[in-house]
Chain A
Amino acid sequence: MTMTAGVEFRDIVKRYGDTVAVNGVTFTVDAGSLVTLLGPSGCGKTTILRMLAGLESATSGTISIAGRDVTALSASERDVSMVFQSYALFPHMNVLENVCYGLRRSGVAKASAIERAREALGQVGLDGYDQRQPSELSGGQQQRVAVARALVLRPQVLLFDEPLSNLDARLRRQMREEIRDLQQRLGLTAVYVTHDQQEALAVSDRIIVMNKGRIEQNGLPRDLYERPATAFVANFMGESNQARAMVKRLDGERIVVRLGDAEFIVADNRAADGETDIAIRPETIAIERGAAPAGALAGTIAKAAYVGTHMEYTIDTAAGALFAVCPRVDRPLAPGETVTLTLASRGIIVVA
């Protein structure tokens, strides 16, 4: 088996005419890890993936795989495989022919190509589907064929371009687990593109959040969620309430954040004194019935929605409307009720 290898992007710029799609991006992917490029559409994440694949050429900068400069190599000369958003199954070939395609092009003899293709189909749970046409398969099955087709080549790097966006929610979770499982089991280096932060959090070793052709933040999934570096990341990684607040430093480790009449102590070693932007995670807001005492944050329920596992509330406060979720569903609050809010320290993030 080919050793999986690390990937390095150095100062990559991609221009289309006057438009800059990728603006000086540098990052590395460790061998055997799965890194996700996350961001809204048009942020440049797919362009980066396609440059790594060799489907686009970089305007400047260098791309290396396993320490070898591949910037000028064509797609078929790089040892990478890709799973396409549209699956891109060849409509004139059956499932087995689709999976064999890459092996045959690499010069593998027919008999052993078929054997390896069957094995790959088995890995994705598609035994016995050899002779089907792609059009006879469900979306999930087509997705598995696409994964098997890419896997069977045992590439140094495996690329996923929004692979789950055409599947329903249940299938999406199942497939992302399978992909993660396969990647870890086979020790593959993988680069994964998505705009779904939950998917990104679930499958990644590291996440790179992109915005307008630049990297916003590159870090561990947990860090990105809990310590987003910018308002953009905070907002993109899960739900958050944006607010302005006065900040005052207590000591090197802690600050006081003032919202309305209430003050909260937050662990932080970066923020400076003064008014600043903060983000408040909705699941860290605790809600109690009744009017607030002095020095606490008071609010009125504006909207309430029951979503099965929890309640979702919109609450009007002195710091603006806050969105909160509450795991207690047995005695829901009604719109118009007065409440007192308590914010957990970990739920308040200074993002300035």
Chain B
Amino acid sequence: MMPAAPSPVVTLRRAALLWTAMGLAGAALLPWYAQPDGVLAFDWIGDFGGTAEASGAFTLVLRHGFWWLWPLLGALLGCLSLPLLPAHRRTIGTVLTALAGAGLALFWLQGLAIGVNGWTADWLGAAFGAIDGRQFGIGAGATVVLVALLALLSLGLAARGAFKGDAFIAGAVVAVAASIVIFTVWPVLRILVQAFNTTEGAFAPALLLERLSAPKIWALRCLWGGGGCGVAWNTLFLALCCGAGTTALGLAFALIATRTAFTFKKTLRVLTILPIITPPFVIGLGLILVFGRAGLVNQFLDSAFGIAPTRWIYGFQGVLLAQLFAFTPVAFLVMIGVVEGVSPTLEEASQTLRAGRWDTFRTVSLPLMKPGLANAFLVGFIESIADFGNPIVLGGDYGVLSTEIYFAVVGAQLDYGRAATLALLLLAFALGGFFLQRRVVGTRSYATIAGKGDAGLPVALPDGLRRLAQAIALPWAAFTALLYVFVFVGGFVKIWGRDHTPTLQHYAKAFAIERGPDGLLWTGAAWHSFWTTVKLAAISAPLTALLGLLAAWLLARQRFTGRGALEFATLLSFAVPGTVIGVAYVFTFNVPPLEITGTALILVLCFVFRNMPVGVRAGMAAMSQIDRSLDEASAMLRGRAPQTLAYVVLPLLRPAMVGALVYGFVRSVTTVSAVVFLVTAEYELATTYIVLRVINGDYGLAIAYSCALIALMLAAILLIQLLVGERRLGRRAAVPATAPVGRA
């Protein structure tokens, strides 16, 4: 028998009062501001209420004269009046929305207006009078209040009928939007505003035009042989080549992995994964070792044929090669889900319509993969324009926007305005790629996993295409393998490329463990940064995947105002180069209300919001292939939105989830440019440690450490596969011995 459900108004009131109570309890019982040693140190308990730093919000207002907290607490207290309101959903919703919205606005206004030194602007002091108090970053109490206010806002919006009246969806949209606004949009805007400022910080909007029109950005001299082209053209050209190249390679690998009976598929899969899990600079250094002027190939040509060694690897060709190595796997991960998702029935239908295997592929399979191809291209394109490690190692004279931005910030110029202008340009390119992709995919539906059982057999590839895919993918794979053999060997020789005496000294230096009187002593130089990296990556990967797929689901399945803006915002942090994000985070989060520099939290947040876009793209690509009626069926069968997500959507999204988890973990381990400004002595990361070794010319140690990281990431990927498991679609396997991607 169906349990009698309480009336919706009663449920709504109960939930709203619960959140209000939680917010008030947090405000009363927890310290409002951040504690120097963290809330869990509990040293504030003995002193609670005594000093302003160790007080709850009510104590602050009543005893310490922090009157500016009154209005926002008032908004929260106002929510206690709910039982007095008429039992009408819409009325309650309107009141809740107004109160929570006002509370949130007041929360940020006072937080931004009063900082570590009192008023943050002189006119505020003039308007409100002098105050005796200063604010540090928000702590546990303020966080609880913030969360409660966001929850109340969601309840209010849902009760007013927004989001089809679903409080979970309202909450999810509010949570995703709020977190993206706080941790992506706000910092990025703060840094981009610098484009309008002089180096001294004065506001001068005309400067932007002057900076934007610089010939260094737009020169086209390379076309008629009079010098180099502007960085904008360089970046664009490189990104287009990289997007096209990675998409083609990714497709070739995906086809081989799913549609052929190729024997060494597993090996192939590991090889395509390798570049993803390679720390920065390693690919670049490896390429120099093979193709550089003193590299293997040139030395061989020189000694065998007397061909003088050249420096072709430095410049466009070298950077493109390195980027193809680095980003093909991402394209592969996007493509594999898409190739798997193409309904075999449609291909069978095509074959029965007199289409040969080639025609079927060309006219049915390929067009069905269009969203995937467009997504893979977009990812390759944006990865390329945001890439920093490869251009810096191999670029030579070939400047691109990301390196120019880096040197505008850290180089001899120290010109945030120029950096911000270039970042703006880079963002514009990313935006262009985004809209191009939207145009290509359009609004056509490509759903091929429908609620009807699909009993078709995947069609084998036409011979010509199979051979082509193999001709592209296999040499590439072989070359990757070769490169990695070099890198691996490099960790076991004294000086890479010079003195090849075998040695274990690099590993010993990095990862020595000694037996001390109190047990094991982790004496290796790398252990500290290694464990920090593992910990932070393990925390951020699930958060990244969760947030990414949640955002993907909301964007793909829910209709709400501002959906397009939210979708763009998720891409924002991905398109902005790491250096800019790093500086933006320091700018934004070094001062109250969110003062989190120097903590592990800022690193985790940086990882999550930088890596989330790939989860979103992969999730949306996969979602576009899952028939919407499956979601609706679940809703009809009493599945509330969170249950639909857990029991229907996520199981069908397993390949995308694996992708997002792996990517989240791996990127957290390998990212460098964004975190350079965020690491501290306490939270040093593996990559920043490696980069410093590279700068010092200590390649042996850097490589040994990189190999250890690669091993770590492989282990993590296997663990993720094991934990997440496979997607059961009940389709028959046509090509034997397949282990679809992302599951190798």
Contact = CB atoms under 8 A, between A and B. Distances in A.
A45 B361 CA distance: 37
A137 B641 CA distance: 28
B452 A142 contact: yes
A88 B643 contact: no
Nearest to A71: B161
B651 A89 contact: no
Contact of B451 (A56, A77, A90, A133): A90
Given A86-B450, A86-B451, A91-B652, A101 B639 contact: yes
Interface in A74-89: 74-77, 79-82, 84-89
Given A135-B454, A142-B452, A153 B637 contact: yes
B165 A74 contact: yes
Given A75-B632, A91-B729, A154-B2, A105 B638 contact: yes
Contacts of A139: 452
Contacts of A53: 632, 635-636
A54 B635 contact: yes
Contacts of A136: 453, 455, 730
Contacts of A84: 451, 629, 632-633
B633 A57 contact: no
Contacts of A166: 452
A133 B451 CA distance: 12
B627 interface: yes
A82 B635 CA distance: 10
A149 interface: yes
B216 interface: no
B629 A73 contact: no
A55 B728 CA distance: 27
Contacts of B451: 84, 86-91, 134
A172 B167 CA distance: 40
A287 to B, nearest CB: 43
Interface in A37-83: 53-57, 71-77, 79-82
Interface string A130-162: 000111110100100000011001100001000
A54 B640 CA distance: 12
Contact of A92 (B2, B3, B166, B652): B652
A133 B729 CA distance: 9
A89 B729 contact: no
B730 A81 contact: no
Contacts of B629: 84-86, 88
Secondary structure dominating the interface of A = loop
Interface in A205-244: none
B90 interface: yes
A106 B3 contact: yes
Contacts of B453: 89, 91, 133-137, 142
A99 to B, nearest CB: 9
Contact of B452 (A82, A86, A101, A105): A86
Contacts of A73: 8, 165
Nearest to A56: B164
Contacts of A86: 450-452, 627, 629
A57 B165 contact: yes
A90 B633 contact: yes
B731 interface: yes
A166 B638 CA distance: 25
B5 A90 contact: no
Interface string B731-743: 1100000000000
Nearest to B449: A91
A154 B643 CA distance: 20
A163 interface: no
B455 A105 contact: no
Nearest to B643: A105
B682 to A, nearest CB: 44
B362 interface: no
B632 A135 contact: no
Interface string B417-450: 0000000000000000000000000000000011
A32 interface: no
B727 interface: yes
B106 interface: no
A19 interface: no
Contact of B161 (A72, A94, A133, A134): A72
A72 B165 CA distance: 6
Contacts of B627: 86, 88
B636 A82 contact: yes
A107 interface: yes
Contacts of B648: 90
Contacts of B632: 53, 55, 75, 82, 84, 88
A135 B641 CA distance: 26
Contacts of A159: 636
A342 B254 CA distance: 70
A92 B607 CA distance: 32
Interface string B543-576: 0000000000000000000000000000000000
A54 B164 contact: yes
A80 B637 CA distance: 8
Contacts of A107: 3
Given A84-B633, A153-B637, 16 more contacts: A55-B636, A72-B8, A72-B161, A74-B164, A74-B165, A74-B640, A76-B640, A86-B452, A86-B627, A88-B627, A89-B452, A90-B634, A91-B451, A92-B652, A102-B639, A139-B452
9 contacts: A71-B161, A72-B8, A72-B159, A75-B635, A84-B633, A86-B627, A90-B630, A137-B453, A153-B2
Interface of B: 1-3, 5, 8, 89-90, 159, 161, 164-166, 449-455, 627, 629-630, 632-641, 643, 647-648, 651-652, 727-732
The 4 closest A-B pairs by CB, nearest first: A135-B453, A102-B637, A88-B451, A133-B730
